Chain A
Amino acid sequence: MSIVKLDQPGKSVLMMGNEAIARGAIEAGVDFCAAYPGTPSSEVPESLASVAEHFGLYVEWSTNEMVAAEAAAAASLSGLRAIVAMKQNGVNVCSDFLMTVNLSGTKGGLVFVAADDPSAISSSNEQDSRNFARFADLPLLEPATFQEAKDMTKWAFELSESVGLPCILRSVTRLSHSRGNVKLGEIAERGRSARFEGVYIAGAFVSAQHSALHQKLEKAREEFEGSEFNWYVGPEEAAFVIVTSGSGWFYSREAVAALGLDGQVGILKLGTTWPLPERFIIDHLKQATEILVVEEVDPFLEQNIKVLLAEQTKTLGPIEVYGARTGHLPGFGEINQDRVAKALASIRGLEYRTRDEAYAKKANELALPSLPPRMPTFCAGCPHRASMWAIKAALKLDGRNGFATGDIGCYALGAGPAGFFQLKTIHCMGAGTGLASGFGKLGQFGFDQPVIAVCGDSTFFHAAIPGLINARFNSSNMLMVVLDNGGTAMTGFQPHPSSGCDALGRPAPVVEIEEVCKAIGVEVRVRDPFEVDQAIEDLYDMLQNDGAKVMVFRRRCYLVESKEKGKKRVFVDSEKCIGDDCGCARFCSRVFNCPGIIWDAEAGKAMIDEVVCTGCGVCATLCPSGAIIVEGG
Chain B
Amino acid sequence: MALEKDPLNLIIAGVGGQGNVLASQIVASAGIKEGLYVTVGETYGASQRGGPVMSHVRFSAQAQCSPLIPEGQADIVVGMEPVEALRIVAEFGNPKTRVIVNPRPIYPIWVLAGQAKYPPVEEVLGKLEELVDRVEVVRVSEDGETPLPANVLMMGALAASGMVPMAIASFEEAMKEILAPKDVELNLHAFRKGVEAMTRG
Interface of A toward B, CB cutoff 8 Å = 1, 12-14, 39-40, 121-123, 145-147, 173-175, 177-181, 247, 250-251, 253-254, 258, 334, 336-338, 341, 354-356, 359-360, 362-364, 366-379, 410, 413, 417-418, 490, 586, 589-591, 593, 595, 597-599, 609-612
With contacts A122-B44, A376-B47, A590-B113 known, what are 16 further pairs, Cβ within 8 A?
A13-B32, A40-B44, A121-B43, A179-B42, A180-B38, A254-B70, A355-B72, A356-B95, A362-B131, A367-B87, A372-B111, A376-B16, A377-B49, A377-B51, A413-B49, A611-B147
Q: From the candidates A12, A253, A373, A586, name the one contacting B110 in the complex (CB within 8 A).
A: A373
Contact B110 A417 (CB under 8 A): yes
Q: From the candidates B24, B44, B83, B130, name the one contacting A366 in the complex (CB within 8 A).
A: B130
> Which residues of chain A come closer than 8 Å to B119, judged between CB atoms?
369-370, 372
Which residues of B in the span 40-96 have a Cβ within 8 Å of any Cβ on A? 40-52, 63-68, 70-73, 83-84, 86-87, 89-91, 93-95
> Which residues of chain A come closer than 8 Å to B25, judged between CB atoms?
14, 179
Can you list 12 pairs linking A and B with CB atoms under 8 Å apart?
Answer: A178-B41, A178-B42, A179-B28, A181-B37, A181-B38, A359-B94, A360-B72, A363-B91, A363-B131, A367-B90, A375-B50, A376-B49
A591's closest neighbor in chain B, by CB? B113
Binary CB contact string for chain B from 120 to 138 against chain A (1 if under 8 A, 0 otherwise): 0001100100110000000
Residue B108 at the A interface, CB < 8 A? Answer: yes
Contact A368 B32 (CB under 8 A): no
Most buried by A among B49, B73, B108, B113: B49
Contact B70 A145 (CB under 8 A): no
B114's closest neighbor in chain A, by CB? A590
Contact A375 B47 (CB under 8 A): no
Shortest distance between the CB of A1 and any CB in chain B (Å):
8
Contact A378 B49 (CB under 8 A): yes
Report the bound CA distance from A178 to B25 in whole Å.
Answer: 10
Report the bound CA distance from A558 to B103 in whole Å.
Answer: 27
> Which residues of chain A come closer than 8 Å to B43, judged between CB atoms?
121
Query: How many residue pairs, one in A and one in B, have C-beta atoms under 8 Å apart?
Result: 199
Report the bound CA distance from A378 to B49 in whole Å.
Answer: 6
> Which residues of chain A come closer than 8 Å to B47, judged between CB atoms?
121, 376
Contact A174 B94 (CB under 8 A): no
Shortest beta-carbon contacts, A-B, top 9: A122-B45, A355-B72, A250-B66, A376-B51, A367-B90, A178-B67, A179-B40, A372-B116, A374-B108
Shortest distance between the CB of A564 and any CB in chain B (Å):
14
B90's closest neighbor in chain A, by CB? A367
> Which residues of chain B come closer than 8 Å to A379, judged between CB atoms?
17, 49-50
Contact B89 A597 (CB under 8 A): no
Contact A370 B32 (CB under 8 A): no
Which residues of B in the span 152-171 have a Cβ within 8 Å of any Cβ on A? none
Residue B151 at the A interface, CB < 8 A? Answer: no
> Which residues of chain A come closer than 8 Å to B93, judged between CB atoms?
363
Given contacts A174-B67, A371-B83, A376-B49, are A14 and B29 in contact (CB under 8 A)? yes
> Which residues of chain A come closer than 8 Å to B104, judged between CB atoms?
611
